[in-house]
Chains A and B, each alone.
Chain A
Amino acid sequence: MTILKRGFSRRRVLQTGMAGILATGITPMIFSRGAWAQEFCNNPTGDTVTFGLNLPLTGAYAEEGADEQKAYELAVQHLNGEGDGGLLTLLQPSALKGNGILGKKVAFVTSDSQTKADVARAGATRMIERDGAIMVTGGSSSAEAIAVQGLCQEMGVIFMAGLTHSNDTTGKDKRRYGFRHFFNAYQSGVGLAPLLGQEYGTDRRAYHLTADYTWGWTQEESIKNATEALGWETVQTVRTPLGTTDYSQYLTPILNSGADVLILNHYGLDMVNSLPQAVQFGLRDRQANGKDFQVVTPLISELMAKGAGEAVKGVFGTSNWHWNLQDPGTIAFTKSFGAAYGSPPSQAAHTAYVQALLYADAVERAGTFYPPEVIKALEGFEFDGMGNGPTLYRAEDHQCIKNVLVVRGNESPTSEFDVLNIVQETPREAVAYDPAIFGGDLGPAEPAPICA
């Protein structure tokens, strides 16, 4: 290094060096001093309050992420009293006023989580530490949701999960600071199985292809248990890495496996790829064990059905919500989303929107942003009007208990959005379960951790 060729004596260097080291030794104290000014993480002191939106804008679940972002933007507008108000007036009971939250205007920051748990966590940390997010929400993958939920518990920031369907999110890995509106794999299994029994009989042999991460594992387990209870036999379960684009190597072995049903535990781009490939492979035209070969997709959304095109026709699955429901909440949300973006909202968009409203409402009811109070307001909250019928935010595991929709790919769609038909609405009593079956521990709400 020859930046400085001449000039400084050794003594001079040591002197300045020591001075610098001493000075920097004091800096940590200057910085940590600020922490005492707030009694909880990111206490909003100005006239705005910031939501942190952690969304997969790239990766296997990018399309869901983009739709969620639209919904959050809409929710923020509605909370601030802009736009047509959406579901603000339909939430029952509601404490929302349409002037922000506790009189503070709602702002948001976003971060691309790339459908990766690691990145999602880094993004959430950034939004909490740098941008002062009071609440983190979003996510389209359970791996992300679980990772971010753990972080939020550490930091003392409430996490309103977006699209996450793994049993673990509110089961094994549940956290006091994490809340989920979306349904889960167990409820999909219980909701879907009776109909599968009716349609396909009780002596089927099923072959599973499963996305290899927490959601896939619990989805596979749940649908396996539910179908085996019907009398079905599970031939084999095969794990496929998240983000696989070519499924031919996984599809070939199915032909000689003796299975007559293929269950695709895939979501997002994975299913948009695997379902048409399975159909092009000729699986559905086959006969096996003297029966027509069938494909089942336990969790399906309108976005994926659209992506899979022709292949989805006649395929059974479950959804959290569908824009074609006929209750006032759904109609209002579909209208307001359609007016803003020109397409009906997906179930991911719906859950994102509702989560934002529910958080705002809980803060209004608690009268403070202090997370433990907000948590108390959300726990055991019974509400209606959000498009899912009466819904309970269960206190034991922070899981919403509501009706589950069984859907089927539309054989004769009238428009590019009319791709799924609602076959049945499984009542929430039928899909409720004992929160203890998945174990896990919520952990304490207080003392509220103070982030840096």
Chain B
Amino acid sequence: MAAMPRNDLLLFAGFTLAVLTMPIWLAPFGAAYPDLLQRFMIFGIFAVGFNILFGLTGYLSFGHAAFFGVGSYAAVWSFKLLSLDVIPAMIFAIIVSGLFALVIGYISLRRSGIYFSILTLAFAQMSYNMAYSVLTPITNGETGLQLTQSDPRHLDSALAATVVGQPIPTLLGQSLGGFSGFYFCAGFLIIAFFLAQRITGSPFGMMLKGIKTNQTRMHYTGFNTKPYTLAAFVISGMYAGLAGALLAVTDPLAGAERMQWTASGEVVLMTILGGAGTLVGPVIGAWLIKYFENIFSAINDGILRRFFDFLPDGVDSAMVTVASKFVGEGWFLTLGLVFVIIVIFLPGGIMEGVRRIAHLFNRAPKAPGKANPQPQPAE
């Protein structure tokens, strides 16, 4: 900690504070219920990990949901075969997704740019289809892998621990439902964020940035970039596996849908929306998208009608008709609009907006009347 630059420390402290107080400051937005908060944490971890590969190293993977899904399946299998305790499940999930990332990364990283993206997309879609069909004995296909009372749980039965009712994952005998589940995930997001911050600041992180800027030049300088990109790929795969395992911890059901290409695309959207290459950006992007998904998709005509009640008759029903296209099932439309607006006006994502505002406040007193500084696209 001591070696951290002051700005990094400040950012980390602020981030920790913001995460831990989420149940308070999100309450006015109707988002302070455990399930959504847990999702905020889980997809935050997913996005932070993705950013190590995409934002830092410059490799756009379109198949990260595969590692997410593998992490979930591994965790659920650990619940089924070993123990309901989350510790072995999470270790197991991270190891399995890491190995999986090693294999896929080793092959995909033979190419870069668009070819790399297509390769990862192909692998992810392959995993999805296998989980859906061929591997049904392992994944239970469309039905999803669930815990049952009759699972063997060898470790638990060796310790003579008995389960009453529906088996749920526990942490050393402590149930992880509701807000305790949120704080559990929040702890991991903070650790994940801290690690990502240290990686970014380390010589290894410098190397990754170098690869992003100009890989050919790195080669000419005498560096073998392969181990570095592969390491970044595996690390980000393990992050995804951790996120997938946490999702299985808070909700012990693993479905193949979470490996689909739309899920892979979602994390790309999160990262770009928040600001690729920045540390906080992807997390904010993840929170925003999950918020939109959970809140906007739940708004129905009845709620809109109450909201537009103050308008005169006719006008209010017209407003409801228009607005209803953007909420409920149509929330993707809202998301799409927001995404387009951000990409056009803030190519560096939300973090660029933050930076511009900060710039405005810093400069304004010094040079009044001066035009806004030229925006810098995020790295």
Contact = CB atoms under 8 A, between A and B. Distances in A.
Interface of A: 1-5, 8, 10, 13-14, 16-17, 20-21, 23-24, 27-28, 31-32, 35, 57-58, 109-112, 116-119, 121-122, 125-126, 129-130, 142-143, 146-147, 150-151, 153-155, 173, 175-176, 212-214, 239, 241-242, 441, 443-444, 449, 451-452
Interface stretch (B113-121, B253-261, B341-349): B253-261
B166 A117 contact: no
A150 B24 CA distance: 30
A109 B146 contact: no
Given A35-B178, A117-B253, 10 more contacts: A1-B279, A20-B16, A31-B23, A118-B255, A130-B33, A146-B144, A173-B148, A212-B132, A214-B143, A451-B177
A415 B202 CA distance: 73
B311 interface: no
- Is the interface on chain B under 10, 10 to 19, 20 to 34, or 35 or more residues? 35 or more
B298 to A, nearest CB: 6
A117 B143 contact: yes
Contact of A147 (B6, B34, B144): B144
Contacts, number: 158
Contacts of B142: 117, 143, 212-214, 241-242
Contacts of B8: 1
Interface string B23-46: 110000010011110010000000
Contacts of B33: 126, 129-130
Contact of A10 (B9, B21, B355): B9
Interface string B1-26: 00000111111010011001101100
Contacts of A28: 179-180, 183
A57 B36 contact: no
Contact of B150 (A24, A129, A239, A441): A441
A112 B165 contact: no
B254 to A, nearest CB: 8
A244 B69 CA distance: 22
Nearest to A117: B144
8 contacts: A20-B16, A32-B180, A35-B178, A118-B144, A119-B257, A125-B251, A146-B146, A212-B136
A3 B129 CA distance: 45
Contacts of B166: 150, 153-154, 175, 443, 449
Contact of B141 (A57, A111, A112, A213): A213
B300 interface: yes
B102 to A, nearest CB: 27
B101 to A, nearest CB: 22
B30 A130 contact: yes
Interface in B146-190: 146-150, 164-166, 168, 177-181, 183
Contacts of B280: 1
Contacts of B278: 1
B10 A8 contact: yes
B321 interface: no
A151 B147 CA distance: 11
B317 interface: no
A213 B133 CA distance: 9
Contacts of A2: 7, 355, 358
B265 interface: no
A452 B20 contact: no
Most chain B C-beta atoms within 10 Å of own C-beta, residue among A35, A57, A443: A443
A13 B177 contact: no
Contacts of B329: 57-58, 112
Contact of B35 (A125, A150, A213): A125
Nearest to A107: B302
A315 B358 CA distance: 69
A449 B7 CA distance: 46
B21 A239 contact: no
A213 B164 CA distance: 28
Interface in B322-363: 328-329, 354-355, 358, 362
B297 interface: yes
A126 B21 contact: no
Given A147-B253, A214-B143, A444-B165, A31 B328 contact: no
Given A10-B6, A212-B133, A21 B255 contact: no
A35 B177 CA distance: 12
A252 B13 CA distance: 63
A28 B6 CA distance: 30
Contacts of B165: 153, 176, 443-444, 449
B142 to A, nearest CB: 3
B179 A31 contact: yes
A245 B164 CA distance: 43
A87 B17 CA distance: 55
A153 B177 CA distance: 13
Contacts of A14: 13
B17 A24 contact: yes
Contact of A1 (B7, B16, B149, B297): B7
Contacts of B225: none
Contacts of A130: 30, 33, 35-36
Given A13-B10, A118-B258, A444-B165, A110 B300 contact: yes
A171 to B, nearest CB: 12
B366 to A, nearest CB: 12
